[in-house]
């Protein structure tokens, strides 16, 4: 994809040279903008590309500077505006006016908008670990908790199992389903806004491969608790330590396994 930008720059240079020979300020303006855009984007071939905001700033400055340059002489400025005036006002250019103003420009604006808001499915620049190695212990609200070998204490409370599952269900739909989905399938209505998307709990390749202590740790600490060995890690998982108690995290963990028919790995 990057190789196309030098070609764009070359096309811009060609348009600039021809427009100078033909003495056409309008196409000289278009050629120079195309040349500048191609050169700026070509920087990405030899070093880090310019961020989108910087590109926008440079192109706006280029448009402004070229307008100043072409407006120094009134005759040159009139010649620059003449093609635009003719398209917008001349009766013999109605078809061209409709094509540009009512079709091409709205389509271009729509494409730019879609390009900005569409989800990005490009893989990370480096390999990432699907299940990061858990830490051996954490501090939860000032209380040290050993993660390795930790079991869900609510599983031993058989008389209150239904009550804890119902509480876990309520917690899930108050906090988790927005991303992980109404059906726990990772298809929440906010899911496509993240990269990577939230994992599904259904199936046998996520929580079915994990002990409950791992799930407890990820809910409690979110992306902030990931160890250095887990980087690079683009996780939007928030930390619920400040919002859920220890029992509430165990309850929602219990519900997630029960609702998906998975058994925690021992």
Give 5-28 pLDDT, tens digit per residue. 999 999 999 999 999 998 899 999
When pLDDT is cut at 50, 70 and 90, the band that residue 83 belongs to is: confident
Q: Are 171 and 258 in contact (CB under 8 A)?
A: no
For residue 160, count other CB atoms closer than 10 A to its CB: 10
Q: Which DSSP letter does residue 99 get?
A: I
Please compute the mean of the pLDDT values over residues 57-78 and round it to a whole number.
Answer: 91
Q: Are 20 and 27 in contact (CB under 8 A)?
A: no
Q: Which residues pair with 144 in a beta bridge?
A: 139
Residue-wise pLDDT tens digits, 173-222: 999 999 999 999 999 999 888 877 888 998 888 888 889 998 999 999 88
Half-sphere exposure of 263 (CA within 13 A, CB side): 2
CA-wise closest residue to 11 among 46, 45, 36, 35: 35
Whole-angstrom CA distances from 19 to 14, 60, 80, 93 are: 8, 22, 11, 22
Encoding tokens for residue 192? Answer: 């496509």
| Rounded Cα–Cα distance for residues 249 and 72 (Å) | 69
Phi, psi (degrees; rounded to nearest 5) at 236: -100, 5
For residue 103, count other CB atoms closer than 10 A to its CB: 10
pLDDT exceeds cutoff 60 at 126? no
When pLDDT is cut at 50, 70 and 90, the band that residue 149 belongs to is: confident
Encoding tokens for residue 94? Answer: 């109605």
């Amino acid at each position: 994809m990057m190789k196309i930008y030098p070609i764009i720059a070359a096309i811009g240079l060609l348009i600039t040279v021809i427009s100078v020979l033909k003495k056409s300020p309008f196409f000289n303006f278009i050629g120079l903008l195309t040349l500048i855009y191609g050169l700026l984007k070509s920087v990405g071939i030899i070093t880090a590309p310019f961020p989108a905001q910087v590109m926008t700033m440079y192109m706006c400055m280029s448009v402004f500077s070229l307008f100043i340059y072409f407006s120094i002489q009134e005759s040159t400025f009139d010649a620059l505006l003449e093609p635009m005036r003719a398209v917008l006002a001349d009766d013999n250019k109605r078809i061209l006016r409709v094509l540009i103003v009512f079709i091409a420009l709205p389509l271009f604006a729509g494409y730019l908008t879609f390009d900005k808001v569409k989800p990005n499915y490009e893989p990370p620049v480096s390999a990432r670990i699907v299940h990061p190695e858990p830490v051996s212990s954490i501090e939860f609200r000032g209380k040290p908790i050993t993660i390795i070998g930790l079991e869900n204490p609510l599983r031993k409370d058989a008389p209150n199992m239904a009550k804890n599952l119902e509480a876990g269900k309520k917690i899930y739909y108050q906090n988790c389903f927005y991303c992980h989905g109404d059906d726990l399938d990772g298809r929440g209505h906010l899911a496509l806004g993240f990269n990577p998307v939230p994992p599904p709990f259904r199936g046998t390749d996520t929580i079915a491969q994990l002990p409950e202590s791992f799930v407890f740790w990820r809910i409690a600490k979110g992306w902030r608790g990931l160890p250095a060995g887990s980087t690079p890690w683009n996780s939007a998982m928030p930390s619920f330590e400040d919002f859920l108690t220890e029992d509430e995290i165990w309850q929602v963990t219990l519900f997630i396994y029960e609702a998906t028919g998975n058994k925690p790995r021992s």
